[in-house]
Structure 1
Amino acid sequence: MELLTGMLVLVAFLLSPLPSLSLNQEGLYLERVKLSLADPDSALSSWGRNPRDDSPCSWRGVECDPRSHSVASIDLSNANIAGPFPSLLCRLENLTFLTLYNNSINSTLPDDISACQNLQHLDLSQNLLTGTLTPALADLPNLKFLDLTGNNFSGDIPESFGRFQKLEVISLVYNLLDGTIPAFLGNISTLKMLNLSYNPFLPGRIPPELGNLTNLEILWLTECNLVGEIPDSLGRLAKLVDLDLALNNLVGAIPSSLTELASVVQIELYNNSLTGDLPTGWSNLTSLRLLDASMNDLTGPIPDDLTRLPLESLNLYENRLEGSLPATIADSPGLYELRLFRNRLNGTLPGDLGKNSPLRWVDLSNNQFTGEIPASLCEKGELEELLMIYNSFTGQLPDGLGHCQSLTRVRLGYNRLTGKVPPLLWGLPHVYLLELTDNFLSGEISKNIAGAANLSLLIISKNNLSGSLPEEIGFLKSLVVLSGSENKFTGSLPESLTNLAELGSLDLHANDLSGELPSSVSSWKKLNELNLADNLFYGNIPEDIGNLSVLNYLDLSNNRLSGRIPVGLQNLKLNQLNVSNNRLSGELPSLFAKEMYRNSFLGNPGLCGDLEGLCDGRGEEKNRGYVWVLRSIFILAGLVFVFGLVWFYLKYRKFKNGRAIDKSKWTLMSFHKLGFSEYEILDGLDEDNVIGSGSSGKVYKVVLSNGEAVAVKKLWRGMSKECESGCDVEKGQVQDQVQDDGFQAEVETLGKIRHKNIVKLWCCCTTRDCKLLVYEYMPNGSLGDLLHSCKGGLLDWPTRYKIIVDAAEGLSYLHHDCVPSIVHRDVKSNNILLDGDFGARVADFGVAKVVDASGKPKSMSVIAGSCGYIAPEYAYTLRVNEKSDIYSFGVVILELVTGRLPVDPEFGEKDLVKWVCSTLDQKGVDHVLDPKLDCCFKEEICKVLNIGLLCTSPLPINRPAMRRVVKLLQEVGAENRSKTGKKDGKLSPYYHEDASDQGSVA
């Protein structure tokens, strides 16, 4: 009986369903795909065998058809996976949807992608794909959506793309396509969206054949290097909703056929070279909401039918339109944005402008309008910005503006306005900018200004405003700029002004203000400019002014101030100081007893110092006393001279470096374990050991007792580091900060970081007058010296490639691995040093800056950097972040590829970046590459050249991060390794080991 029971249990077990330990075929394919990809964030951790399910339908990003249970969709967006495109996915027979958006899919797009026969949606945007577009994409018969935005595809658009059968969307934005926009794209009759913006195409016209795309809804060709006229055929795009041809070089008139686009909502034609009058017929565009034809050369009047449209945006600035603004523009019931600035428009504005339209943004600046400002501008109570600077408006400001609670920005300067400012206008609660400068306005500042809680910029200079400044100004906690110069203000400064902690500029010069200056101004911690010249102030200069650490402009001239000059003023770093023509007395502080400051103190009879023109009020007795003192000085000087000759003869050998070195007064600060003392360093500072010199000091090679060498940078106090000769930004000399700041930055930066591609700072030695920085010695000097000297032949392409990858890893470490990140600010070939094996180290951190936690660009007081390497936005905005370094690094790449200097008389007014771009366009790549490089490496050199051009993009947003630059450079080497492999048991010269010593912030 027991035997029978056991047999029954065994049979039941054998007949019961077992847990699945195997995957179906699609699961096996996906498992192999997972193995082919790098997955640092374990995004594919769910891609594995499940004892309860033999299909991959429950895996992350995988969706299956509910009927066939086969994989239909894969979405791995933002998964941080890397590797080549997984062609194995094309074996999923029912796959229709595939997106790998925002990953690191690299290499080239393979031809066998044509095996994805059922694919309808393919999104590979924001990856690292390179090479040319494969013609095989057109062999996908069911493809409707193709997005390859934000990769590095280059070359031409393949001719096969004209054969797409069902394609509705194609986006190739932000690539490196460098052919022209082909006419055969007009054959894709199913196309609804064509987006080719932001590619470095060769100059070319808009193909008229695009007018055949009758189903097209979006045509986006921004910054595509388009030339010629806009073809009339675009008027046939009856379903077009968005037309964007901005940022090109289009010429000629706007074709009247565009007014036949009945469905269009948005037309953007800004920043071209369009001419002629605006066409008529705009009333046909009943759906139009935005028209932007700014930054062109348009002329003539604004058509009446355009003003009758229910526009949401009208933007026609920077043209040369003529004639009066038509009165019918006031009849547009939906018009809420009117931008017509920088034209030659004239005449008066319609009296009821804004009466029937909910205007929000009005900008009519830089025209020739006359007459009064319409009182109805804010009739609907929605006006936010009113900008009318640089016109010839007359009359009074309308009282209605004072009731416009929605206003945030008001600029009415540089007109001929008269009368009093409406009292309520001073106190609008949301206005942050109120500019009324250079008019003929009169009256007082109303006490209603207390209600302007958001006011940041109050600019009312050059008017006829009078009365005293109200105490209520001190309630404006957000006020940054108060500019009221050249008015008729009287009375004393209100004590409440000292409450303005955000105040950065206070300019009230050329008024009739009087009284004493506020005694306590310690709250003005952010004050950068203080100009109270040409008033009637009296009393002492407050001692507290010497504590305003960021003040660099101080003008108190032409007042009645008395007493001594505060000694604390010597603590300030002033670019402008003027206290002349007052009643100051006493001795001049020693720091100011220099010829450069003489004009700053003239006109103060009681003020004395060693400067010509001071102490004019002293009598002849004082002069006789001076004669006696001078005689004594001459006698004493003679004795000193005699003894000095003897002393010099005995000691001159110890003064070869220009200064005596007292070893007992040196302070040593080490950053690594040292095998030497400061005395060994000091003994080696001999002129025979100098290996370099500059405006900040000298560099010595010092051989230690153990046989090792170090490099010693000797900095003298008070010297400044300036840009290389010939550096010129906006006709002004580029200069850096004082050397003390450079020493501090160098120590704080290099003393904390450890990385194999950052030069090692062993220690620093300091004394009162001299500072020494001791680095590891780099036998091959700097990349710039070697590359541009007769020894440049030593740098073959494999060596240059190794150098640029090393330098990129060093900068990537600064930008991405240091917390907070560090911006070098002076990346150049002379600051990349080479060891005995031509390994590269990034050096010279004298102007480096730490990026704040917000990641926002930091504003510098002056430009730092070297000519030819400075990013365009940094030179003009003084905003610095990692993108500035990336531009400079791109210039170094171009130096290595071309063998040319960043600036050269041969370039004319161009720098290296512009020379490379223009030469590529006009003569081809062979005229750019360094002829000393072996032509067998041409393909790899061209790829690195493309990376350099990407890094030097004029728009910072288009420049890749340094971490991505490293990946791109390593991929060039990886591709070469796959072709060359190992030769004769040695690694290919492109082989570059991963950094084992990543280092960290100390």
Structure 2
Amino acid sequence: MATIRQRLLLAFLLLQLLAIAASSSDARYLIAARSALRDPSGALAGWSGGSDRGSPCRWARVSCAKNSTAAVAGLDLSKLFLGGGFPAALCSLRSLERLDLSANEFVGPLPACLAALPVLAHLNLAGNNFSGEVPPEWGAGFRSLLVLNLVQNLLSGEFPAFLTNLTALQEFSLAYNLFLPSPLPEKLGDLADLRVLFVANSSLNGIIPSSIGKLKNLVNLDISRNNIHGEIPQSIGNLSSLEQIELFANQLTGSIPVGFGGLKRLRSLDISMNGLTGEIPEDMFAVPMLASVHMYQNNLSGRVPETLGAAPSLSDLRIFGNQLSGPLPPEFGKNCPLQFLDISNNLLSGPIPATLCASRKLKQLMLLDNEFEGAIPVELGQCRTLTRVRLSNNRLSGSVPPEFWGLPGVYLLELRGNALSGTVDPAIAGAQNLSKLLLQDNRFTGALPAKLGTLPNLQEFKASNNCFSGPLPPSLANLSLLDNLDLSHNSFSGEIPRDFGRLKKLSQLYLSDNHLSGNVPPELGEIIEMNTLDLSNNELSGQVPAQLQDLRLTHFNISYNKLSGTLPVLFSGIQYQECFLGNPGLCHGFCQSNGNSDAKRHTIIKLVVYIFVAAGIILLLGLYWFHYKCRLYKISAAELDDGKSSWVLTSYHRVDFSEREIVNSLDESNVIGQGGSGKVYKAIVGPQGEAMAVKKLWPIGVASKRIDTFETEVATLSKVRHKNIVKLACSITNTVCRLLVYEYMPNGSLGDILHSAKRSILDWPMRYKIAISAAEGLSYLHHDCKPPIVHRDVKSNNILLDAEYGAKVADFGVAKTIGDGPATMSIIAGSCGYIAPEYAYTLHVTEKSDIYSFGVVMLELVTGKKPMAPEIGEMDLVTWVSATIEQNGLESVLEQTIAEQFKDEMCKVLKVALMCVSNLPVTRPPMRAVVTMLLEVKEEKKPKPKVAPLAI
């Protein structure tokens, strides 16, 4: 017995020793892996041989097998800002079952050694910057792998069809990578246990193989955003476990196969943005759990199936942009929790079903651009959940139900382009969330209710081309956020309320073609945001107020009224000659007084007074200018005392000019710009008369110019060399003044041209060239500078254009070098509309912050709009683009004046921009990938079959 006990004790001790040895071994591998990583946040600082007697099982992010304190079974290192290459030491963890490195900054190739881990079942490397091809060794290893997730990396080469050899796989996710055009593997059907197939945006082409019908356990099928063509295979109807189908944004054709009705677990179907034709199958809406159906932007035709009226679970239906016709089922909405309905841009007719909001859950109702007729159902006036209503361009008639006017949650009410009649009911006072009220092109009558003035959020009110009458409600002056007011082509009478001058945010005012009388209120001249004023074709009288000269109007028309008297001086110019037509009482210069000597005398006296006042002002200005020039001369003389001895010139490139030439050019007549850091002058210097840009920084300590950029700008630009980064030639300093001398960019900034009357210069090929040039400059800063440089103020005004409209990134006054991780700033740098969300919240700056800002610049290039502009309301450009695309598709946001010939290219650049402005930094592509994708926009048109198309 003693011998048996001794043997058992010996065996137990041996096992313990083996466990300790294994534990110690795994601990050593983890420590080696940690030392090979960048860990800026110190998340793995607790990994050390001295903690927990060398056992790693209680270390952060480490787990061991059940009933074991020895071997490491799981590592969850996701979202820790880790960087560097894959740590090869992890391949020595022989008991590793789960490895999650997702949402970090890993780079370099995928490790082939992982395939040799005998029990690895879950591998998640998503959201990194791994590049190169998937190792072919992976197709022969991974005997236990169940989950493979490589989503959102920079993987390239052929799509790894060999991974279908891993027949135990349950999740196969390779979406959002840069593979070459490749077909879907025919052997997909061999993955009998597969539950998730996620290969969106992977440059896949060819057809969907019919073998996909073998995947009886498949729950999630996502092949969206590829170049798949052909028909949807009938065999998909055999996948009885499917809950989600995502096939949108491909090139699928043919009809929707019958059989979806047999997918009893299906909850979400998205086959939008393809070329599908034919009718929607009758069994489509018979699926008991189907909640979301997106079939928009296809070529579907025929009637909507009657089964739609009985759909039990449907909450989201989007079938806009097709050719569907006929009426909707009369009981649609009665049996389902409908929340979102967009069936716009079809040929649908008949009445609007009264049951759409029977569940009291409907939030968004878009029926525009159809042929619906009859009245707006009274029942919709009880739908208190509605937030967005668009019924424009139909054949609706009759009065709008009173309760419908006052829906409390609606922010957009669009009824334009119908035959609606009756009045705007005072119940509209209940619509306290209303931001846009669009009633134009109807048959509304009567006076506008004073209650309109109680809507605190109203920004846009358009009611042109109706039959409204009576006076303009003075209460409209209470709408402090009103930006656009269009009441033209009605029968309004009486005077324009003087209180309209309180509408300080009003940029567009259209009151033409009414019966307005009385004087033009001079208070309108106090609305400094006004850029459009149209009061033409009324019965206005009196003089043109001189205060209107203070407005910066791009559109001004006051023609065909009964105005009289002398025009204000500014309006006498030739550019205004068509703004005052049809006012015979108006005259330029001084009006004839028809023999009235008192009037003549009064006019002469006024003229003499004006002349003396003007002469006095000119004299004072002359004296001030003389004093200023003398003072400037004295300062310059003091600064130049002893010639070069008082200045220090530090050159960073070869220069052919002296500091004296630069300093002598600092004259106010040479100023070409001014910003938060100083004034910029143009200087012609050197033997060849070369133009240079000279930035004279504000003196240190000037209170109103708080940002001192000299040190940062010099430190950054003195060491960078790239054709798309503005060149700093030299700096010139003395004890009181600091000058930075740059290469001169004759075409100014992108923002100045793009958002001015000169925008027509920038056609699409030129804008595309600018986008690539600027992207290459930023890519150099992020990837080729050691350590990387983050610009922190990327915007269109900081992208300068040379004589050939080549782009160069400029203004590095707030740039920051970053080392092993995100840098934390004490204040936010950047410009409104360009700042990445996470930067504003956390003050952590990384390259991803610049990528977001550059995405906004690309949105400016394709839309022609500013990041913050009156025409997009309170939203910034990113929000406006996202909301508009969701409603009307990609092409709806393009600048239409240049989009006709280059629509495809602009859409592809728009897709790249949308990736860059993702709310999640980890999903934004690095600048090197942005450059690649932008180049591929043009490369696709070249006859080179090996070039990958743009993958978004």
TM-score (norm 1): 0.66
- The one-letter code matched in structure 2 to 1:234 is I
Letter in 2 for 1:144: A
Aligned to 2:213: 235
**2:871 counterpart of 1:871:** no
Selected match of 2:588 from 609, 631, 637: 609
How big is each residue's C-alpha offset from its partner over 1:912-957, in whole Å with a ceiling of 9 and x where there is no partner?
x99xx99xxxxxxxxxxxxxxxxxxxxxxxxxxxxxx999886433
* Structure 1 unaligned blocks of 5 or more: 1-22, 71-93, 630-658, 685-699, 722-738, 765-772, 786-798, 816-820, 833-838, 859-866, 887-908, 919-948, 970-1002
Indicate the residue corresponding to 1:350 in structure 2: 329
| 1:286 shift after superposition | 0.5
Structure 1 position 223, deviation (Å): 1.3
Name 1:521's counterpart in structure 2: 500
> How far apart are the structure 2 equivalents of 1:454 and 1:125?
41
Q: Deviations over 1:365-414 (max 9, x none)?
A: 11111222122222232222221111111122222111222222111110
Give the one of 441, 449, 457 matched to 1:478: 457
Query: How many Å apart are 1:127 and its aligned residue?
Result: 2.7
Of the three residues 741, 761, 766, the one matched with 1:777 is 741
Q: What is the aligned-residue identity percentage?
A: 36
Q: In structure 2, the residue corresponding to 1:569 is in which secondary structure?
A: helix
Structure-1 separation of matches of 2:673 and 2:167:
69
Distance 1:123 1:238 in 2: 28
Deviation at 1:59, TM superposition (A): 4.5
Partner of 1:153: 130
Q: CA deviation at 1:602?
A: 2.0
| Aligned residue type for 1:281 | G
Instruction: Confirm or deny that 1:586 pairs with 2:565.
Output: yes
Per-residue deviation at 1:556? Answer: 1.1
Quote the Cα distance in structure 1 between the aligned partners of 2:389 and 2:777: 56
Query: Structure 1 residue 957 and structure 2 residue 918: aligned?
Result: yes
Deviation at 1:330, TM superposition (A): 0.7
1:444 positional shift? 0.6
Q: Matches of 1:885 and 1:523 in 2, distance apart?
A: 27
Does the residue aligned with 2:137 lie in a helix, a strand or coil?
Answer: helix
- The DSSP-based 3-state class of the residue aligned with 2:314 is coil
Q: Give the alignment of 1:649-664 within 5 angstroms.
A: 664=627
- Equivalent residue number for residue 998 of structure 1: none
Where structure 2 has 5 or more consecutive residues not aligned to the other structure, the ranges are: 1-22, 605-621, 645-654, 676-692, 718-727, 749-775, 815-828, 840-853, 869-875, 879-900, 931-952
Instruction: Give how far 1:486 is off.
Output: 0.4
- Partner AA of 1:665 in structure 2: Y
Distance (whole Å) between structure 2 residues aligned to residue 333 and residue 108 of structure 1 = 51
Does the 8 Å CA contact 2:697/2:739 hold for their aligned counterparts? no
Identify the match of residue 386 of structure 1 among 353, 358, 365.
365
CA contact (8 A) 1:807 1:841 kept: no
Alpha carbons of 1:299 and 1:961: their partners in 2 closer, same or farther (altered >3 Å)? closer
SS in 1 for 2:499: coil
Is 2:110 the counterpart of 1:130? Answer: no
Which digits, 9 at most, give the CA deviation of each residue in 1:541-571, with x for residues without a partner? 2232222222211111111222332333222
Instruction: Specify the code of the residue in structure 1 equivalent to 2:69.
Output: H
Query: For each residue in 1:81-129, what CA deviation from the matched residue of structure 2 results, as whole angstroms up to 9, or x when unmatched?
Result: xxxxxxxxxxxxx122123223444443365643222211112223333
Query: Does residue 190 of structure 1 match 2:168?
Result: yes
Check 1:806–1:716 CA distance in 2 against 1; reply closer, same or farther (3 A cut): farther
CA contact (8 A) 1:807 1:840 kept: no
**Contact in 2 for aligned 1:227/1:250 (Cα 8 Å):** yes
Cα drift, residue 343 of structure 1: 0.3
Change (3 A) 1:307 1:58: closer
Q: CA deviation at 1:619?
A: 6.4
Mapping for residues 378-777 of structure 1, pairs under 5 Å:
378-609=357-588, 664-666=627-629, 703-704=658-659, 754-755=711-712, 756-757=715-716, 775-777=739-741
Distance 1:811 1:709, change over 3 A: farther
Helix, strand or coil for the counterpart of 1:276?
Answer: coil
Distance 1:678 1:841 in 2: 32
**Equivalent in the alignment of 1:322:** 301
CA–CA separation in structure 1 for the residues paired with 2:118 and 2:352: 62
1:935-950 matches, within 5 Å, as none
Contact between 2:373 and 2:395, CA under 8 Å: does it hold in 1?
yes
Q: Distance in 1 between matches of 2:148 and 2:64?
A: 26
What displacement does 1:176 show? 1.7
Equivalent-residue separation in structure 1 for 2:232 and 2:434 (angstroms)? 42
Code of the aligned partner of 1:189: T
Match of 2:69 in 1: 69
Partner of 1:130: helix, strand, or coil?
Answer: strand
SS at match of 2:576: helix
Question: How far does residue 182 in structure 1 lie from its aligned partner after superposition?
Answer: 2.8
Q: CA deviation at 1:358?
A: 2.6
Which TM-score applies when normalising by structure 2?
0.69
Q: How far off is 1:334 after superposition? A: 1.8
Number of equivalent positions: 752
1:141 to 118, 127, 131: 118
Structure 2 CA distance, aligned partners of 1:229 and 1:964?
A: 28
Determine the structure 1 residue equivalent to 2:832: 851
Query: Is the 1:469–1:493 Cα contact (8 Å) retained in structure 2?
Result: yes
Alpha-carbon separation, structure 1, partners of 2:165 and 2:174: 16
Q: Does 1:827 align with 2:799?
A: yes
Asked if 1 retains the 8 angstrom alpha-carbon contact of 2:64 and 2:73, the reply is: no
Letter in 1 for 2:521: P
Deviation at 1:304, TM superposition (A): 0.7
Pair 810,830 (structure 1): closer, same or farther in 2 beyond 3 Å:
farther
1:180 matches 2:180: no
State the alpha-carbon separation in 2 of the partners of residues 743 and 340 from structure 1.
Answer: 57
The 3 A distance-change label for structure 1 pair 805 and 329 is closer
- Residues 872 and 669 of structure 1, relative CA distance in 2, 3 Å threshold: farther
Q: Is the 8 A contact 2:798 2:809 kept in 1?
A: no
Matched AA of 1:956: V
Contact (CA 8 Å) 1:711, 1:776: kept in 2 or not? no
8 Å contact 2:917–2:924 — kept in the other structure? no
Query: Does the residue aligned with 1:448 lie in a helix, a strand or coil?
Result: helix
How far the C-alpha of 1:316 sits from its partner, in A, is 0.7
User: In structure 2, what is the equivalent of residue 212 of structure 1?
Assistant: 190
Q: Against the structure 1 CA distance between its residues 344 and 382, is the aligned structure 2 distance closer, same or farther, given a 3 Å change threshold?
A: same
Q: Secondary structure at the match of 1:136?
A: helix
8 Å CA contact retained: 2:29, 2:90? no
In structure 2, the partner of 1:274 is 252
Per-residue deviation, 1:458 = 0.8
Aligned to 1:162: 139
Q: For the residues of structure 1 that align with 2:551 and 2:706, how far apart are their CA atoms?
A: 26
Instruction: Report the equivalent of 1:18.
Output: none
Aligned residue for 2:232? 254
SS of 1:490's equivalent in the other structure is strand
Give the deviation of 1:960 after TM superposition.
7.3
Q: Tell me the alpha carbon deviations over residues 480-532 of structure 1, each in whole angstroms, 9 at most, x when there is no partner.
A: 11111100001111121111111111111000011111212344222121111
Q: Cα–Cα, structure 1 residues 962 and 231, in superposed 2: closer, same or farther, change >3 Å?
A: closer
Q: Which amino acid aligns with 2:143?
A: Q
C-alpha RMSD of the superposition:
5.1
* C-alpha distance in 2 between matches for 1:457 and 1:802: 41
1:400 and 1:605, CA in 2 relative to 1: closer, same or farther beyond 3 A?
A: same
1:711/1:27 Cα in 2 relative to 1: closer, same or farther (>3 Å)? Answer: farther
Cα distance change, pair 809–594 in 1 and its aligned pair in 2 (3 A): farther
Aligned partner of 1:161: which letter?
A: W
In the other structure, the counterpart of 1:893 is none
Shift of 1:844: 11
2:866–2:877 Cα contact (<8 Å) kept? no
Q: Is the 8 Å Cα contact of residues 856 and 913 (structure 2) preserved in structure 1?
A: no
Change (3 A) 1:30 1:132: closer
